[in-house]
């Protein structure tokens, strides 16, 4: 198993190009199931989760190839509309095939994802929405079986209990081929939802209101294949912003959509970090002391839970005490004990972490249990004195394209080493 070895203490400087968004690419790849023919997706990041989704499409009997950022998907009727356990257990986002399969074939079976490192993460909202659209749902042998007795979903008024991201995406894709009008209330407003809606509309769907909390979809009988370039990854961008600031560096991020990062940029500026547009890029720089800032994660446009661990590392370097509250997932502080092993001073009480800034972190061997926690440990390694080894790098490979190359390009002393577990 590969590890990442970092020798800390080098301020990052230079330019880095931000990759396509993982969490936009995943639902967009499954949207190809809605229309037979040749789809081309560009700016698709070379990530483990993307390859898992391509494997899922192949398992369904669809040709799906990937070469240097371009995914070509030759959609045709699937063999059997089933998402098996061996793929779902590798990636919860596999559940994104559910909406498109039910819409297209009137039935689908998806292995239940179960719990994961960051929380219980049920899919009840996805299923309730499909039921409102006329589907019957049955749980059996670890699978959820969804059947539409009439063969075609019908439009419905749906109101989500929580603005779930993949739930909104599943229902949006399902509604695109349903009969009549669907309204999704309390919908997720993440930029990735807008992006999926944009792609569906390019395929001939009629989706209105994506990016607001009410989405209206007029179902179509048929959709057409699409050629689309995917938006930049706002979480990858935010992660490099924090890495630049934490190392007291000066970095130009290329290809970022800054309007997707308002909450993150606001917190960085509050902490005293410089974030400014420069030409086509965004320059992030920091010198001297950092002010402590409090943050509470929330669905978009709130502060993203996917940036919580990274902000926490930054706050370890601040002058004073900050509080970080996690409201989206119930168990997303697993990086805390690892950061404390590196000399941080963080106390967790329920959903609140109190971070007291410390003068230094010290390198250590650390282990992460999820993607964003791993990224925070790499950042901690970049600022720590001495050597940090982050174990279980496969978590990082799920969501950060060539992270060690990109950081090395900014001057970091970082390498991938094949090692023990
Ligand atoms: N929830 C329910 N019932 C549901 C669905 C969700 O109770 O039917 C709860 C979850 O248990 C959780 C909360 O709602 O506590 C939020 O979950 P959400 O459904 O919004 O998350 P997701 O769709 O499973 C996506 C991203 C995550 C990101 C979250 C929150 C993708 C593929 N994944 O997950 O990304 O953290 O939204 O923004 O888009 C990551 O990239 O590292 C990552 C974990």
Indicate whether residue 126 lines ligand 1 (CB < 6 A): yes
Task: Indicate the domain borders of the chain.
Answer: 2-19+232-418, 22-219
- Whether the CB of 399 sits within 6 Å of ligand 1: yes
Across the range 153-182, mean pLDDT stands at: 98
State the distance from the centre of ligand 1 to the C-alpha of 167, rounded, in angstroms: 8
Rounded percentage of the chain residues whose pLDDT exceeds 90: 93
Q: What angle do CA 76, 170, 163 make, to 5 degrees?
A: 165
Instruction: Please tell me if the CB atom of residue 120 comes closer than 6 angstroms to any atom of ligand 1.
Output: yes
Is 148:102 a contact under the CB 8 Å cutoff? yes
Report which of residues 115 and 117 the model is more confident about.
117
Query: How does pLDDT run across 6-24, given as a tens digit for each residue?
Result: 999 999 999 999 999 999 9
For the entire predicted model, the pTM comes to 0.97
Instruction: Measure the CA–CA gap between 364 and 90, rounded to whole angstroms.
Output: 28
In CATH, the architecture of 22-219 is Alpha-beta prism (3.65)
CA distance 170 to 124: 12
**∠ CA(293), CA(11), CA(386), 5° rounding?**
95
Residue 288's SS3 state is coil
Which CATH entry fits the domain spanning 2-19+232-418: 3.40.980.10, 3.30.470.20, 3.40.50.300, 3.65.10.10?
Answer: 3.65.10.10
Taking only the tens place, the pLDDT of each residue in 273-318 is: 999 999 889 999 999 999 999 999 999 999 999 999 999 999 999 9
Residue nearest to atom 19 of ligand 1 (CA): 164
pLDDT digits (tens, 9 = 90+) for 29-38: 999 999 999 9
Q: What is the mean pLDDT of the chain?
A: 96
C-alpha to C-alpha distance for 353 and 51, rounded to whole angstroms: 34
Nearest-5° Cα angle at 98, 96 to 99: 90
Query: Which residue, judged by its Cα, is nearest atom 17 of ligand 1?
Result: 164
Q: In what order do the strands lie in the sheet with 413-418?
A: 365-367, 387-391, 2-7, 413-418
How many DSSP H helices and E strands does the chain contain?
Answer: 14, 24
Is the CB of residue 182 below 6 angstroms from any atom belonging to ligand 1?
no
- Per-residue pLDDT tens over the stretch 327-373: 999 889 999 999 999 999 999 999 999 999 999 999 999 998 899 99
What confidence score (pLDDT) does residue 37 get?
Answer: 98
Mutational pocket test of ligand 1: of 23, 195, 325, 327, the residue with most ligand atoms within 8 Å of the beta carbon = 23
Q: Whose CA is nearest to atom 28 of ligand 1?
A: 306
Quick check: do 2-19+232-418 and 22-219 share a fold? yes
Q: What percent of the chain has pLDDT over 70?
A: 98
Q: Give the span between the Cα atoms of 164 and 299, in whole angstroms.
A: 8
Residue nearest atom 2 in ligand 1 by C-alpha distance: 122
Contact status, residue 380 vs residue 339, Cβ threshold 8 Å: yes
């Amino acid at each position: 198993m590969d590890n990442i070895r970092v020798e800390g203490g080098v301020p990052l400087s230079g330019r880095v190009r931000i990759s396509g968004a993982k969490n936009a690419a995943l639902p967009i790849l499954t949207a190809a199931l809605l229309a037979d023919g040749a789809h081309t997706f560009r700016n698709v990041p070379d990530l483990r989760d993307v390859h898992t989704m391509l494997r899922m499409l192949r398992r369904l009997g669809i040709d799906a190839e990937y070469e240097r950022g371009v995914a070509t998907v030759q959609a045709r009727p699937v063999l059997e509309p089933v998402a098996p356990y061996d793929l779902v257990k590798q990636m919860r986002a596999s559940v994104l095939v559910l909406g498109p399969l039910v819409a297209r074939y009137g039935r689908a079976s998806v292995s239940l994802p179960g719990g994961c490192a960051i929380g219980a993460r049920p899919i009840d909202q996805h299923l309730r929405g499909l039921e409102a659209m006329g589907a019957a749902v049955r749980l059996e042998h670890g699978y959820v079986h969804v059947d539409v007795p009439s063969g075609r979903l019908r439009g419905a008024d749906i109101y989500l209990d929580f603005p779930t991201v993949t739930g909104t995406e599943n229902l949006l894709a399902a509604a695109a081929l349903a009969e009549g009008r669907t309204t999704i209330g309390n919908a997720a407003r993440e930029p990735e939802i807008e992006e999926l809606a944009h792609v569906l509309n390019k395929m001939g769907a009629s989706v209105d209101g994506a990016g607001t909390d009410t989405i209206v979809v007029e179902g179509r009988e048929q959709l057409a294949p699409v050629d689309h370039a995917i938006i930049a990854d706002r979480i990858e961008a935010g992660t490099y912003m924090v890495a630049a600031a934490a190392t007291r560096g000066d970095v130009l991020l290329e290809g970022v959509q800054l309007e997707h990062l308002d909450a993150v940029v606001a917190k960085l500026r509050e902490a005293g970090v410089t974030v400014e547009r420069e030409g086509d890029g965004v320059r992030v720089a920091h010198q001297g002391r950092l002010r402590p800032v409090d943050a509470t994660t929330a669905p978009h446009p709130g502060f993203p839970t996917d940036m919580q661990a990274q902000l926490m590392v930054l706050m370890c370097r601040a002058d004073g005490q900050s509080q970080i509250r996690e409201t989206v997932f119930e168990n997303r502080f697993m990086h805390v004990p690892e950061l404390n092993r590196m000399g941080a001073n963080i106390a967790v009480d329920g959903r609140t972490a109190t971070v007291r800034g410390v003068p230094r972190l010290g390198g250590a061997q650390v282990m992460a249990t999820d993607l964003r926690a791993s990224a925070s440990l790499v950042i901690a390694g970049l600022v720590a004195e001495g050597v940090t080894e982050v174990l279980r790098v496969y978590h990082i490979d799920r969501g950060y394209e060539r992270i060690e190359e990109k950081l090395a390009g900014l001057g970091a002393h970082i390498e991938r080493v094949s090692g023990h577990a």
